[in-house]
């Protein structure tokens, strides 16, 4: 056995005849802190082409239209050309630094009570970067992809809203019908072959929708697994059964039920949403040289940018007043 000297007078919870009680803690730290969102795990991850990352989007195919019809004995060909537009997405950086004090680390090692803390804190720092990333995927405050105005992403919500496909469902209108109609309008497009794959909304809005279906139609929705371990309900639409994915990163305004709340939902084609990464799809950890303070310094960094392709036709914003 290894003996250690302990200072019990200043740390004792109780000192009495035949009893000295000192503080002892469970070695596991209670931790159910929210980390990742579903959206960032379902969209496409592609390497960036540069800074900014560039691509071309075809907005129309060569179409001779009515001028393409001709007298078969006197053929006159209509001149056509495809319509392509250059697009770009700027890359952004998310950075966090964690410093381990040498004295504290050696003290923890000698006490042997929380030996795993160094690894846990580093992993939590990485998860913190990914949490910031997931929140900004929807609500990043940049206002333009072509001329960035802030260091954050231009969130998917802002890109979809800028595309112009927005509908508002009034306080007494059916949320179910509003979502179904929006999907039908997307699928009915004569210019684009749109196939939405999911509907994202705050859990509060999806709970209101669930209550509406139960009260008006006595319907219990089917379920779909969207990521490993997460099954959600699915809404039958003209694009098939679309998963209703609750996303805590989607905020709303007002108090639901008061008539002043606005709760957004986003009908998206996830294969048209891309995260362009630089270096690695995930965050990278760098250990810095030891400074004069003898602290161990780690920097977590993630480079990339989000682009919602076809924002004006492949996605829809639905604003629900309640």
**Other CB atoms within 10 Å distance of the CB of residue 109:** 11
Confidence (pLDDT) at 110:
82
Given a cut of 50, whether residue 247 has pLDDT beyond it is yes
Which of residues 301 and 106 earns the better pLDDT score? 301
What's the pLDDT score for residue 291?
A: 82
pLDDT higher than threshold 80 for residue 26: no
- Of the pLDDT bands very low, low, confident and very high (cuts 50, 70, 90), residue 9 is very low
The single residue listed with the structure tokens 């098939």 is: 240
pLDDT at residue 6 greater than cutoff 60: no
Q: In 112-262, which ranges are continuous DSSP H helix?
A: 117-139, 156-163, 175-187, 203-212
Residue 306 in contact with residue 275, Cβ under 8 Å? yes
Q: Is the pLDDT of residue 52 over 80?
A: yes
Dihedral sign computed on CA atoms, order 203, 206, 212, 214:
negative
Question: If phi over 0 gives left and psi between -120 and 50 gives alpha, with beta otherwise, what is residue 254?
Answer: left
Q: How much is the pLDDT for 8?
A: 43
| Rounded Cα gap, residues 221 and 243, in angstroms | 10
* More confident call, 130 vs 34: 130
Secondary structure E strands in the chain: 14-16, 19-21, 44-47, 53-60, 83-89, 92-100, 166-169, 198-201, 222-227, 230-237, 240-246, 262-268, 273-278, 284-287, 296-308, 316-321
| Whether the predicted pLDDT of 206 surpasses 90 | yes
Say whether pLDDT at 173 is over 70.
yes
- How does 307-317 read in b/e, with b if 16+ C-beta sit within 10 Å? bbbbbebbbbb
Phi and psi at residue 243, to the nearest 5°: -65, 135
Q: What is the pLDDT of residues 65-112, one digit of tens each?
A: 877 888 888 888 888 888 899 999 999 999 999 998 888 888 878 877
What's the CATH fold of domain 89-321? phage-related protein like fold (3.90.1690)
Tokens of residue 172, six digits: 């007494």
**CA–CA separation, 172 vs 124, rounded Å?**
44
In terms of Cα–Cα distance, which of 39, 231, 43 is closest to 135?
39
CA atoms of 120 and 114, how far apart (whole Å): 10
Q: What SS3 class is residue 270?
A: helix
Q: Which DSSP helix (H) or strand (E) runs through 268?
A: strand 262-268
pTM of the model: 0.85
Q: Domain boundaries in the chain?
A: 89-321
Q: How far apart are the first and last CA of the chain?
A: 67
pLDDT of 137-171, one tens digit each?
999 999 999 999 999 999 999 999 999 999 999 99
């Amino acid at each position: 056995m290894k003996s250690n000297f302990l200072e019990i007078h200043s740390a004792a919870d109780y000192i009495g005849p035949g009893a000295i009680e000192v503080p002892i803690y469970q070695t596991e730290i209670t931790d159910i802190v929210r980390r990742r969102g579903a959206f960032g795990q379902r969209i496409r991850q592609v390497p960036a082409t540069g800074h900014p990352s560039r691509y071309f989007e075809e907005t129309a195919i060569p179409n001779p239209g009515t001028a393409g019809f001709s007298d078969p004995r006197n053929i006159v060909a209509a001149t056509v050309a495809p319509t392509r537009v250059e697009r770009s997405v700027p890359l952004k950086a998310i950075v966090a630094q964690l410093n381990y004090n040498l004295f504290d680390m050696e003290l923890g090692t000698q006490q042997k009570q929380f030996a795993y803390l160094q690894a846990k804190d580093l992993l939590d720092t990485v998860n913190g970067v990914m949490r910031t990333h997931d929140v900004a995927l929807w609500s990043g405050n940049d206002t333009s992809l072509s001329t960035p105005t802030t260091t954050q992403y231009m969130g998917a919500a802002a890109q979809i809203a800028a595309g112009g496909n927005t509908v508002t469902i009034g306080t007494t209108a059916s949320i179910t019908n509003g979502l179904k109609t929006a999907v039908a309008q997307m699928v009915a497009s004569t210019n684009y072959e749109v196939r939405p794959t999911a509907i994202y909304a705050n859990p509060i809005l999806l709970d209101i929708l669930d209550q509406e279906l139960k009260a008006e139609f006595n319907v219990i929705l089917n379920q779909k697994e969207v990521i490993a371990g997460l099954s959600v309900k699915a809404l039958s639409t003209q694009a098939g059964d679309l998963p209703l994915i609750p996303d805590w990163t989607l905020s709303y305004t007002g108090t639901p039920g008061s008539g002043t709340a606005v709760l957004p939902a986003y009908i998206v084609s996830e294969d048209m949403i891309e995260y362009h990464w630089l270096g690695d799809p995930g965050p990278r950890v760098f250990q810095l040289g030891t400074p004069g303070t003898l602290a161990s310094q780690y920097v977590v960094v993630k480079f990339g940018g989000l682009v919602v392709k076809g924002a004006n036709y492949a996605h829809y914003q639905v604003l629900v007043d309640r």
